[in-house]
A and B are shown apart, each in its own frame.
Chain A
Amino acid sequence: QVQLQESGPGLVKPSETLALTCTVSRYSISSGSYSWSWIRQPAGKGLEWIGHIYASGKSNSNPSLESRVTISLDTSKNQFSLNLRSVTAADSAVYYCAREGYYDHLTGILYDAFEIWGQGTVVTVSS
């Protein structure tokens, strides 16, 4: 069973860079057509897609965060990472990594829904 696990500092100072890593188990991130996403959720609020990266290395980001976001792959460690620059208190949230792609065995189609999620990691931006 594929598993994802987020890691990184739980406290980041304003104006600094938030850096998180997602370690993937029981599936090679360099294979297949899945993409690998970051999603966040401020306390008591809804979900916000941050961006994703494909095995090819191509990435896409939420336009509202694009100027501050970098998502990268480390295939040697089977990990993908998020860097969010110039953080403020508004960036405090639970950050989830997720595998994007649900393979329907009946149709043979891969749908871009988030099937597998990490447990989430809390990040607080504060001095």
Chain B
Amino acid sequence: EIVMTQSPATLSVSPGERVTLSCRASQSVTSNLAWYQQKPGQAPRLLIYAASTRATGIPVRFSGSGSGTDFTLTISSLQSEDFAVYYCQHYNNWPLADRSFGPGTKVDIK
């Protein structure tokens, strides 16, 4: 089973700042990685798939990068609506279908 880790656990940021969140897989997931945003009381929202492609309707300030075991989600200029918890998730299908999420990074107001 692939284990996902994220750092930092919490990030205190001011609006307008650039934010970089990290995600690491215990073994290579190639580019089979997604990022989600979750606000309190809401279901997660898909931001990025295939490690670096924005889902439909996601603002260009969100970008993803990485492959193999190390991945990054960058928010170029944090907006007030971006304060939330961010999760990475891998989706490998070999040898068996396996999906797991990282523990999340909470981005809160400084």
Q: Say whether A113 contacts B89, CB under 8 Å.
A: yes
The total of chain B residues at the interface (CB under 8 A) is 26
Q: A120 — which chain B residues lie within 8 A by C-beta?
A: 43
Tell me the smallest distance from the CB of B50 to a CB of chain A, in Å: 5
Q: Say whether A49 contacts B43, CB under 8 Å.
A: no
Q: Say whether B87 contacts A114, CB under 8 Å.
A: no
- Per-residue CB contact flags for chain B residues 81-107 toward chain A (1 = under 8 Å, else 0) read 000000101010100111111111000
| Given A60-B96, A112-B32, A113-B34, A46:B49 Cβ within 8 A | no
Q: A49 — which chain B residues lie within 8 A by C-beta?
A: 89, 99-101
The one of A46, A62, A63, A118 that contacts B103, using a Cβ cutoff of 8 Å = A46
**Residue among B43, B87, B93 with the highest chain A CB neighbour number at 10 A:** B43
The verdict on B53 contacting chain A, using a C-beta distance below 8 Å, is yes
Q: Say whether B97 contacts A52, CB under 8 Å.
A: yes
The verdict on A119 contacting chain B, using a C-beta distance below 8 Å, is yes
Q: A60 — which chain B residues lie within 8 A by C-beta?
A: 96-98
Complex Cα distance, B95 from A63, in Å, reads: 13
Which residues of A does B touch, CB under 8 Å? Answer: 37, 46-49, 52, 60, 62-64, 96, 98, 100, 102, 104, 111-115, 117-120
A-B residue pairs in contact (CB < 8 Å), sample of 11: A37-B99, A47-B44, A49-B100, A62-B99, A64-B1, A102-B46, A102-B49, A111-B49, A111-B91, A117-B45, A119-B43
